[in-house]
Structure 1
């Protein structure tokens, strides 16, 4: 009886958590925190990044997408990660690299785990909800204004691709 009650309670809790959308905070590369909840009502494109990757050129596309849609509510969040051993040694080095080489002014987290047992809770929640886990750097997750995953893309899909732009535009007010 207790086991059945516990299973029912867990199922109800999981439904309630899914109904509220993804939550969580990230350490901000500039200090403080970045909260997924603070962007509720806006689409958010979350991208795990790395400064020494063959896809690093996509930072330019991320900034272009952010510049194009930020006034309409889009948030682009870069999540530097060394999970694939291609990130610089410190958040300060990452921030400087991105500013000097790409002029980034989009929100960026501190260096963060995005896969496996050490993954940030946001990435664990995405994996639990969708089965998606970054398989390399510059994987993209589009979160809808309701906080739920709308679509995911791998590294090969450029941020300014027609597919990603269409997904973003469908969510903008």
Structure 2
């Protein structure tokens, strides 16, 4: 019996303790998925990932960017990229009905990256995630399909105008993947 106790005690002291890295304040957020009741804890789901956050709209001249966003997601999702879509009617180009928004995303453009319920993305009423992005970069979305690229440690955040296409972000995403 003493031998077992000694062995267990010894294993406890020589086994390395693995501590989870605390979540960045930016990811201390929960939101419900589009056309769902499932709530996503951003810390649990996206900590350690490179994030491209995009405010979207179904009836915008930039809506075709969904195709490029999905292509980026498919290309880099296994290397740590996640794209997060945030439908918003802040620029009066999103449907009031979530079912219509979901149809544009999932049926018309085949989006498989996470999309969330319609929310505000402009200050001062922006959802907390966008409030933090705006505060971190000093740049608020000026239109639909404004993009924020966030490094895997959450410390480097870059903002991109709506006119910057997903394809133009490819090299920046590759660079973040290489340095993570």
Question: Residue 7 of structure 1 aligns with which residue?
Answer: none
Q: What's the TM-score, normalizing by structure 1?
A: 0.83
Question: Residue 38 of structure 2 aligns with which residue?
Answer: 32
Q: What's the TM-score, normalizing by structure 2?
A: 0.80
Please point out which of 91, 106, 115 is paired with 2:113. 106
- Confirm whether residue 92 of structure 1 aligns to residue 99 of structure 2: yes
Matched residues in 2 for 1:63 and 1:35: separation?
Answer: 22
Please point out which of 26, 47, 62 is paired with 1:22. 26
Question: Residue 43 of structure 1 aligns with which residue?
Answer: 50
Say which structure, 1 or 2, has more relative contact order (CA 8 Å, 6+ apart). Answer: 1
Structure 2: gaps spanning 5 or more residues:
1-22
Matched residue pairs, number?
Answer: 153
SS at match of 2:91: coil
Structure 1: gaps spanning 5 or more residues:
1-18
Question: Residue 166 of structure 2 aligns with which residue?
Answer: 159
